[in-house]
Amino acid sequence: MKVRLIDGRQLEKVVSVQFGSPEWPLTPEQRLDKARACLEFAGLPKVAEPLADVVVGLETQTDAVAALRRTGII
């Protein structure tokens, strides 16, 4: 990563692993915070909790699309 400051100086940092990657994963709370922020940005803050609940239990759903529809996301 290279950054040029307004005073002309340039800072450089080698980034070999990105935060959120499998090598440096987010915690469950960080993932939920990120999802909330994305949904808020998209104008859908009210679906964050219902969607999180569905995603956590998705493997137990008999109809995944119906479960997602109940959250209001689609």
30-63: per-residue pLDDT in tens?
998 998 999 999 999 999 889 988 988 889 999 9
Residue 47 carries which side chain, given as an amino acid letter? Answer: V
Number of structural domains the chain divides into: 1
Q: Is 10 left (phi over 0), alpha (psi -120 to 50) or beta?
A: beta
Q: Which domain holds residue 38?
A: 2-71
In the predicted model, what is the mean pLDDT of the chain? 92
pLDDT of residue 74: 87
Using CA atoms, how far apart are residues 50 and 28, in angstroms rounded to an integer? Answer: 16
Please give the C-alpha separations between residue 9 and each of 2, 14, 30, in angstroms, as whole numbers.
10, 17, 33
